[in-house]
Amino acid sequence: MSQLGDLQARMAEITRRLNSDGAGKTTQVIQDALAAAGLKPPSMSAGTKQKLAPQNFVSDLLGKLGLGGAATTPQADTQAPDLNGGKFVAGSYANTAGSRRYKVYVPSGYDGEAMPLVVMLHGCTQDPDDFARGTQMNALAEEQGFLVVYPAQEASDNSSKCWNWFKAMDQQRDQGEPSLIAGITNEVINQYGLDRKQVFVAGLSAGGAMAIIMGSTYPDLYQAVGVHSGLPYASASDLTSALSAMRGASGTSLSSSRRGGASAKLQAIPVIVFHGDRDATVSPSNGTGLIDDFVARFEQTAASEEKISTVVEEGKTETGHRYSRTSLHVDGRPVLAEHWLIHGAGHAWAGGSARGSYTDANGPDASREMLRFFSTQRADSESLQD
């Protein structure tokens, strides 16, 4: 049996023991499972015992394994994001699936006009303030004239504050967390009178996985998706498959297995993907899987004369990182998808500020490139929805 297959079997055993023995008696099983798979167990001080609350055990373990952000990565400062003359307004939304807080950045130039909206989904252990600092999206909103909303995952719903992208209920339209994020999006659009033809969603890691879920389940609401260090739509349905997907077991093979299935039948919503080729938390193969999914969806719905062309460009940022950018397009349309593979980069938002967690200042500037990509999609959005 492979190391990963052995880990999956051991995780199934852990789940069974949790139900019967509780978390306290499964510690050694966990340590053995991680060691057998070549993974580093959660660190413990010598002579101490680590306690995990049974009700939060799964999400605690996911956080310690780096689901959406390495748990050992130093956290950023706790200062509020720079307002740049605008307002950062707190709000909350509730429906039958629960409730979530959020924050909205309103640029100083907003005067009631129908501006675009960007929905930003943070990674594990993050919150709206932290994510705003790291991505610097508020400063870009001030510069370019759009609103940004940051839904907040609650520790009560995932103790590491990861969006629950790996739960089947949270991968469906009008259910679970997708219904809450869509509800927040609509609430902000209505409150500020924003342009429904210019609504976009982006996220990091667990937030990136949730962003593609949002684009896949609400293609009528979001015109394009930005995914940084994330995973393909429905690439996991539980803890075991989440660990497998993160380590790359499903990455590029996932889409081929779906070409005649559910993913291929979904709409090919434009997507821009960033992933570091040294990401040890979420395998870079997931970035390739996201693009493969787009192609599979497009081929299912495209007219017979529409064929995707691929252009690969090599470049280097002024601040250090080399990258390979693959662009997918059809003649007469804007670029439909982009894949940025950043050489030498790990699990961090490219071009981000050190004032936020999980950032890499050595570029390329993922925030600015996502906005550039989003701006090309409005003219083509109606034809993609036909």
Which among 368, 348, 363, 371 has a CA at the least distance from the CA of 318? 363
Within a 10 A sphere around the Cβ of 54, how many other Cβ atoms?
14
205 a catalytic residue: yes
Put the strands of the sheet holding 309-316 in their side by side order.
Answer: 87-95, 98-106, 147-151, 117-121, 199-204, 224-228, 271-276, 337-343, 322-329, 309-316
User: What is the residue whose two structure tokens read 């460009």?
Assistant: 313
Q: Kindly list the distances between the CA atom of residue 308 and the CA atoms of 224, 293, 300, 304, in Å, as whole numbers in the listed order.
A: 18, 13, 12, 11
User: What is the residue whose two structure tokens read 């839904």?
Assistant: 151
> Please, which residues bridge with residue 101 across strands?
92
Q: Determine contact, residues 95/182, Cβ cutoff 8 Å.
A: no
Q: Kindly list the distances between the CA atom of residue 124 and the CA atoms of 51, 181, 203, 213, 358, in Å, as whole numbers in the listed order.
A: 20, 16, 11, 16, 10
Within a 10 A sphere around the Cβ of 6, how many other Cβ atoms?
14
Q: Is 112 helix (H, G, I), strand (E, B) or coil?
A: coil
State the distance between the two ends of the chain, measured CA to CA, in whole angstroms: 47
Q: What is the 8-class DSSP label of residue 250?
A: S
Q: Phi and psi of 244, rounded to 5°? A: -65, -45
The identity of residue 336, as a single letter, is L
Please pick, among 59, 160, 179, 205, the residue that the annotation labels catalytic: 205
Burial bucket for residue 49 (CB in 10 Å: 0-12, 13-18, 19+): exposed
User: What is the residue whose two structure tokens read 């809450």?
Assistant: 180
The identity of residue 110, as a single letter, is Y
Q: Which residues contact 77 (CB under 8 A, 6 or more apart)?
A: 133, 355
Q: What DSSP assignment string belongs to 187-225?
A: HHHHHHT--TTSEEEEEETHHHHHHHHHHHH-TTT-SEE
- What residues are annotated to the active site? 205
